[in-house]
Amino acid sequence: MHHFQYKGEELFAEDVAIKDIVAAVGSPVYIYSKATLERHYKAMDDAFAQAPHTICYSVKANSNLAVLKTFINLGGGVDIVSGGELYRALAAGVDPKKVVYSGVGKRDDEIAYALESGILMFNIESEQELDRISDIAGRIGKKAGIAIRVNPDVDPQTHPYITTGLKKAKFGINIERALEQYQRAKGLANIEILGIDCHIGSQLTKVSPFVDAIKKLKRLLDGVRGMGIDIKYLDLGGGLGIQYDDEAPPLPADYGSSIQEETKDLGLHLIFEPGRNLVGNAGILVGKCLYTKKGEEKNFVIVDAGMNDLARPSLYGSFHGVRPVFRNQDGVIEGDIVGPICESGDFLVKEREIPNFRQGDLIAFMSAGAYGFTMSSNYNSRPRAAEVMVDGGKFEVVRDREKLEDLVRGERVPSFL
């Protein structure tokens, strides 16, 4: 469910006409619906109402301060993968005791920053990382809360780039070796063992892989408790998918019911790290048709948004629905929607049936709230897009469009040139 709907022949974000936003801030522009963000968070939170839990939003999906603040105001925490994400979350007002820190490559300065900030726990991804966090915690006089991220070797049946729970993945510690790492952690004076962590992948459209992973984790939990270790948290990560095209992912209520049934007797506080599920369908990217072009073999619609603005189609071959901001096109055509980047891989839509757009038409690329702006870049020296949040009948810019001078900020010509 989202709040981007037509009123008559014109597309609105909640009660604001998309054309009015573009008139005020230009294009391309990312537009987020506050009502949709809140609806999705509450659906996930309500799904686990019968269990002690914390929703730690995965910042990497969309790190805009307004998005973070929306979830924090609802009682949410965050899952971070860098010191920069921690900085953003703290700036948005997160309770440090609702912060979990994942990621395979935590630097010394990032670890120290997280310890000084008083986060809840680190999700440990390797043996060497465990030792490093212990050493840094001892050096600065802190005790580090940790969970070991367990790789359960469960196939999430999703895109290989966003599969994280198989043996060949770079993430986590193999479940067969996890017990010995818990035993090692128990002997480290500056480590406090708090939980078990598992994240098997993203954009899952079935509940069964989550359940399969939990069954394996329960056996591990028995072994850890048998060592006399008091586990308090079970972090089950995120990964529940959304509808981009014709997918039919489980509803949060169904997901919650299955997870609670599988974990009801464990006596643990559950942590979830949803990202895409909360923000994906809460955002769109709006661009303008610059030109249309009929090639020898296909039709092209050339827009002012490119792979630097929305990388997912070029990177993953991902599908994003396309809607005209005004439904006044003359039929449909088969073709590509491409951007201005000097790459043949610069496309937002490839070989699909699309409206017969005309020069000047505004085009909304749907389900762009997750991994849209956060993956954008300045490739081809293009300023990054503005971001806007809508709340009912009003909207505000929540990130200014970059200016040309922003492209060289921090650069300098050396004295020897």
The domain locations on the chain are: 4-32+280-408, 34-279
- Band of pLDDT at residue 200, cut at 50, 70 and 90: confident
Mean pLDDT of 149-178: 66
Mean pLDDT of 146-172: 65
Out of 144-158, 296-310, 320-334, 350-364, least confident range: 144-158
Is residue 346 over pLDDT 50? Answer: yes
Angle among Cα 344, 347, 350 to the nearest 5 degrees reads: 105
Binding residue numbers for substrate? 276, 312, 316, 343, 371
Mean pLDDT of 158-174: 57
* Statement: 4-32+280-408 belongs to CATH 2.40.37.10: yes
Asked if 4-32+280-408 and 34-279 have one fold, the answer is no
pLDDT at 163: 45
> Does the model's pTM come out above 0.85?
yes
pLDDT at 167: 53
Is residue 161 over pLDDT 50? Answer: no
Average pLDDT for the chain: 93
- Could you give the percent of the chain with pLDDT greater than 70? 96
Binding residue numbers? 239, 273-276, 312, 316, 343, 371
Catalytic residue ranges: 342
Mean pLDDT of 171-192: 91
pLDDT at 260: 93
CATH topology classification for 34-279: TIM Barrel (3.20.20)
